[in-house]
Amino acid sequence: MRVAYVVGTTTGGTGRHVRMLAAGLVARGHRVVAAGPPDVEEQFGFRAAGVRFVEVPVSDRPHPVNDARAVLSVRRAVRGADVVHAHGLRAGALAALALPRRTKERPLLVVTLHNALTAGGFVGAVYGVLERIVARGADRVLVVSPDLGERMGALGARDVRPAVVPAPPLREPGRTPEEVRAGLGADDRPLVLTVARLAQQKGLETLLDAAAGPWQEPPPLFAIAGEGPLRGELELRIAAERLPVVLLGNRDDVPDLLAAATVAVWASRWEGLPLSVSETLKAGTPVIATAVGGVPGLVGDAGILVPYGDADALRAAVQKVIADPAEAARWAAVAARRGAELPGEDEALESALSAYA
C-alpha cells in the first residue's frame, strides 16, 4: 500500500503520532511519504524512519496565496498514493482541495482531527469554512473526542470514527522524587504538576486562580512544564500576586517530574486525547482535569474531573488529594490501572489500517 501523510505546523503530540504511524507502516512493508513544513522533519525525523519526506509550506494561519501554493505542493506530493491521511484541520482542508473530484483514480482521503477551535471572531469563521471543506471532502474523519465527531456529522461527514492516539512508552525516571522535589524547592510541601503548552486553550488563568488559595498548611507548589505565547503574561501575574507557581519551560525530564508530583492537574478549555494525560496515567500519578473534549473518555473513573473555569472546584479537588496521603495513594493506584489499559502503538496502527481499508 502507498500511504501519504499530510501534516501542518506542529510541535507536539500530532507530530509524534504521525511519525509513529509512518514508521510503523514502513516496518510492515508499506511505501510511505510524509508532506509538511521543513521544521516538522527537523523535529520528528521522518527520513530516519525510512519515510520519504516532501517539504510543503503548510502555514499555521490561513493565507490565500500561501494556501494556494500549499494545495499545489500537496497535490504533487501525494501523486500515486492509495491513501492520503491528513492530520489537523488545516492539513485536512488543504488535502481535500488538492485531490480531484471523486473518481476511480482518486486516493482515499482520511483526516484525523486532533483539536477543536476555542477562539471566535474572524479566525473562528475561517476555521468554520475549513471544517466544512473537511466534512464534505474527506472519505473518513477520525476524531479524538465525541464532540468533534458530532460536529463533523452535523456538517455532513459521511464516515466518522474515533481516533486511536497512544502515548509513547514512558521511560524510567533518571532521578529520585526527592532529588526532583529538592531542585524545585518543594522538599516539604505538595508538588502540583501541569504539563501543557502556555496557550489560550490550556485554561492557565483558571489554574492560577486556583493556585492563589486559600490553602491548608503546608501550601502546595504549582509547577508548569511547557512553553508558549502566554509566558510573559503568566510571569507578570505570578510575580504581581506572589503566586506559588513556577514556570519550568520545556522539559525533557517529564517522567522524573511525574514520579515526584503529588498530583497532576489540567485546567484546559478543551482537550482531545492529550498525550500528557496518558503519560500521567501510565506513571501512576493522581490526575485532576477538566471534563472537556476527550478527557472523560480517556480518564474514565481513574481521576477527578471538574467543570472548566471553576477555580474553586479545581482547588477543592487538589486539596482533597494533597491533604490525605491515603487518598493520594488510592488515586495513584487507579491511575496506574487505567494507564495499563490504554491502547499502544500496535492498536493505533491496526486502527489506521482499518480506516484505510
Go through the domains of the chain in sequence order and give each one's CATH number: 2-166+344-356 (3.40.50.2000), 177-341 (3.40.50.2000)
Instruction: Give the model confidence (pLDDT) of 299-342 as tens digits.
Output: 999 999 999 999 999 999 999 999 999 999 999 999 999 999 99
Give the integer Cα–Cα distance in Å for 177 and 25. 38
Residues of the chain scoring pLDDT < 50: none
Amino acid identity at 273:
L
pLDDT score for 345: 93
CA atoms within 13 A on the CB side of 270: 15
Residues 6+ apart with CB under 8 A from 184: 191, 221, 223, 246, 248, 260
Give the integer Cα–Cα distance in Å for 255 and 177. 10
pLDDT score for 355: 97
Beta bridge partners of 141: 111, 160
Q: Are 262 and 288 in contact (CB under 8 A)?
A: no
pLDDT score for 115: 85
Instruction: Give the model confidence (pLDDT) of 191-249 as tens digits.
Output: 999 999 999 999 999 999 999 989 988 899 999 999 999 999 999 999 999 999 999 99
Mean residue pLDDT across the chain: 93
3-class SS at 32? strand
pLDDT score for 102: 64
How far from the centroid of its chain's Cα atoms is residue 35's Cα? 20
pLDDT score for 167: 84
pLDDT score for 121: 72
pLDDT score for 65: 75
Give the integer Cα–Cα distance in Å for 219 and 234. 20
